[in-house]
Structure 1
Amino acid sequence: MSLDFSALQNVPRLLLEARLKPLQGTRFQPTGFPNLGPATYDGPDGRRMLLVESAQSMANRLETVCWDKTADDWVTPLKGLPLVKVEDNNGKPLTNTVLEAHRINSPYILEGKDTSVLDRLKQELADMEEGPVNLRQLAELLLGLDINSLLHGIFLAKSDLAGGRLRLPRALSAFIEAEDIREAQSGGVKNDHVNPSGDTAKGFGNVPFARSEFTAPRITAYFNLDLTQIRGYGLGNKVTNLLIALALFKIRAFLDEGLRLRTACDLECEALTVTRPQAFVVPERRALEEVLPQLIQDVAQEKNWPADRVTIVRWDGTSKAKGK
């Protein structure tokens, strides 16, 4: 089986919209922000809008569906993709560049006493200390070290790596909005059946609380795949097709199994629509799962990837001395 991406060859973006609804009932709980709470705002036409899930959170959720936490490995269709794993001195897994908040810029990778990844970055990107940053060269390095960075984006914020100028924006971004929202106020009580009048500051006693949820006639997840950026890496058609297929797999997997955003925000997808280019049809998840292993193998052969594509970094619980 092969995938037909011909409709994407001459367009800058692939734009998708997924129509969502609560799995049960009508209410849902959006993401909240410190000192702000729910992110409500007025839309251009005056309708009340709500940010259900931010771009930052969606980026992480699109990573989570790629990882099998039980096996500590990629999910089956993605096995063989390069990444960096962090282990303790006993070989116990700690984190990796799929799940780590700052990916390859994680302090567990670049700030520990094991400087193998940092040394490799310095060595292979040494000619960028002065002058313009060669993003194609950076992309080539990331392809074999942490391929997911080419979709998720990267910011190597270290002064000794091209003066902190090494960054790629997200090629795959997403967010979820709700339109024409209405508040659904409720509340409850944390009951203490032992000492109802106990000191609530210490966790005792009965504690009443308010709860804000929302209803909306329309909830939409938006996905934006920057095809111009992916082609701009200059890594060839096989890599481009692999990155597109990987991005589409993330979207399909998220819509299938990643929509339980919170206890009180469990959604389901009613329809996935391509808004640009409209001639493109998103492959089903099963088709993507069937073709991804071959795409990975093709790129591995073309780029001479080693059999073991996992880079191991040891973390002993302490960072290297400042200036070392």
Structure 2
Amino acid sequence: MSFDALSGAPRLLIEAELSPVQGQRFQPTGFPDLGAAEYPLPNSDRRGLLIESAQSMANRLEAVCWDEAAGTLDSALTGLPYVVSRLPDGEQTNSILEAHRLNSPYLVTSKEFDEIKAAIGFEKDKPFDRRKLAAALLRFDPNSLIHGIFLEKVGGVVRLPRALSAFIEAEGANVAASGGVKVDRVQPATTGESTAYGKAAEGYGNVPYHRDEYVAEQIKAYFNLDLALLRGFGLPSEATDLLVTLALFKVRRFLHSGLRLRTACDLDVPETGVTVTRPEEGFELPSLEALTDRVSGCIAACKPHFRDPPVLEVTYKK
């Protein structure tokens, strides 16, 4: 497997054709006070539809790295650094799963986080060297170099943009309206003097509801890996190789096992449905098996740049 075709490319753009696993209907993402993000397509009478947003996809691309059953990183990523926070009730959280990654209040408030602050080297009223930030993130949490980070609790300029972004949208989308009834087998009625238990607002009675799903002519997932940004970190070549491989591993793993977005949105990608659109020639997205082997080798090659041991454990302090 060679990445030579990517050496001069500023971006790696990937598209994946998707379709519902069964039937034609699917449920898109929704937003408060807005519902589904439906919009007119430029120069067309067809409608577009956002199925999964960039912010949600960033979280999903992290989630495929985590083995929920084992409570640790996927076995292919063994040895990759991250930070674990021990909470007062015996539970724990970590920088892979937290919404703000290393900037989570469950991590940055700990005494042990001072080790990361020292490595970042931010000093107030002095120019900030982002290459030093990149080296620190490589040491403590390389996933943050791909996901992006804003450590505003350390300093307002301690940030890096997202290197791997993605979203899913549909073209030629139309509403498939349906509905149902929540059935109460004890007390069907919710009005009148004879109501024995309570009203519908309290969860009682038969409650009809409407439901909007969608059908579409085409569904696509889009992935954008900013290769120029990764090179600009000034990291050793083996570290840049790790970040590119890890990003592609996330894409392949998501397409393989992360496409059940919601109960009513279970998608699939055909074997020939993945296309690299930039660079236009010379590169194809490797298989999941090939990327799994390569990412393990990259982690081993970068061990001298990682913290030892790679998992930093901190204790949450309110």
Q: Same fold (TM over 0.5)?
A: yes
Contact 2:51–2:170 (CA under 8 A) maintained in structure 1: yes
How far off is 1:177 after superposition?
Answer: 0.5
How far off is 1:89 after superposition?
Answer: 4.6
Structure 1 segments of 4+ aligned residues over 6 angstroms from their partners: none
Task: Specify whether residues 127 and 189 from structure 1 end up closer, same or farther in structure 2 by C-alpha distance, changes over 3 A only.
Answer: closer
Question: Which amino acid is 1:98 matched to?
Answer: I
Contact 1:22–1:266 (CA under 8 A) maintained in structure 2: yes
Contact 2:85–2:93 (CA under 8 A) maintained in structure 1: yes
Q: Equivalent of 2:287, from 261, 284, 289?
A: 284
Secondary structure of the structure 1 residue equivalent to 2:2:
coil
Secondary structure of the structure 1 residue equivalent to 2:37:
strand
Contact 1:85–1:93 (CA under 8 A) maintained in structure 2: no
Alignment of 1:170-185 (within 5 A): 170-185=162-177
Q: Does 1:312 align with 2:305?
A: no
Question: Which amino acid is 1:50 matched to?
Answer: L
Q: Which residue of 1 aligns with 2:236?
A: 236
Q: Does 1:296 align with 2:304?
A: no
Secondary structure of the structure 1 residue equivalent to 2:313:
strand
Contact 1:128–1:134 (CA under 8 A) maintained in structure 2: no
Structure 1: tracts of 5 or more residues without a match: 320-324
Q: Which residue of 2 aligns with 1:20?
A: 18
Question: Which amino acid is 1:292 matched to?
Answer: V
- 1:252 and 1:11 map into 2 onto residues whose CA distance is 20
Q: Which residue of 2 aligns with 1:124?
A: 119
Contact 2:85–2:107 (CA under 8 A) maintained in structure 1: yes
- 1:76 and 1:41 map into 2 onto residues whose CA distance is 41
Q: Which residue of 1 aligns with 2:50?
A: 51
Q: Which residue of 2 aligns with 1:272?
A: 274
Task: Specify whether residues 16 and 286 from structure 1 end up closer, same or farther in structure 2 by C-alpha distance, changes over 3 A only.
Answer: same
Contact 2:112–2:315 (CA under 8 A) maintained in structure 1: no
Structure 2: tracts of 5 or more residues without a match: 191-198
Secondary structure of the structure 1 residue equivalent to 2:269:
strand
Q: Which residue of 1 aligns with 2:224?
A: 224
Q: Which residue of 2 aligns with 1:187?
A: 179
How far off is 1:26 after superposition?
Answer: 0.2
Contact 2:14–2:274 (CA under 8 A) maintained in structure 1: yes
Question: Which amino acid is 1:27 matched to?
Answer: R
Q: Does 1:134 align with 2:135?
A: no
Question: Which amino acid is 1:51 matched to?
Answer: L
- 2:38 and 2:146 map into 1 onto residues whose CA distance is 29
Contact 1:116–1:313 (CA under 8 A) maintained in structure 2: yes
% identical equivalent positions: 51
Contact 2:19–2:267 (CA under 8 A) maintained in structure 1: yes
Secondary structure of the structure 2 residue equivalent to 1:254:
helix
- 1:184 and 1:137 map into 2 onto residues whose CA distance is 52
- 1:16 and 1:311 map into 2 onto residues whose CA distance is 34
Q: Equivalent of 1:149, from 123, 144, 153?
A: 144
Q: Does 1:196 align with 2:197?
A: no
Secondary structure of the structure 2 residue equivalent to 1:128:
coil
The number of equivalent residue pairs is 306
Q: Which residue of 2 aligns with 1:115?
A: 111
TM-score for the superposition, normalised by structure 2: 0.93
Alignment of 1:90-109 (within 5 A): 92-109=90-107
1:193-241 deviation line (CA, Å, top 9, x unaligned): 1011131111111111110010011000000000001001111210111
- 1:122 and 1:76 map into 2 onto residues whose CA distance is 29
Question: Which amino acid is 2:115 matched to?
Answer: R
How far off is 1:7 after superposition?
Answer: 0.4
Task: Specify whether residues 108 and 179 from structure 1 end up closer, same or farther in structure 2 by C-alpha distance, changes over 3 A only.
Answer: same
**Which deviates further from its counterpart, 13-22 or 129-138?**
129-138
How far off is 1:292 after superposition?
Answer: 1.6
TM-score for the superposition, normalised by structure 1: 0.91
Secondary structure of the structure 2 residue equivalent to 1:165:
coil
Secondary structure of the structure 1 residue equivalent to 2:293:
helix
Task: Specify whether residues 277 and 126 from structure 1 end up closer, same or farther in structure 2 by C-alpha distance, changes over 3 A only.
Answer: closer
Q: Which residue of 2 aligns with 1:322?
A: none
How far off is 1:313 after superposition?
Answer: 1.3
- 1:98 and 1:241 map into 2 onto residues whose CA distance is 20
Secondary structure of the structure 2 residue equivalent to 1:26:
coil
Secondary structure of the structure 1 residue equivalent to 2:167:
strand
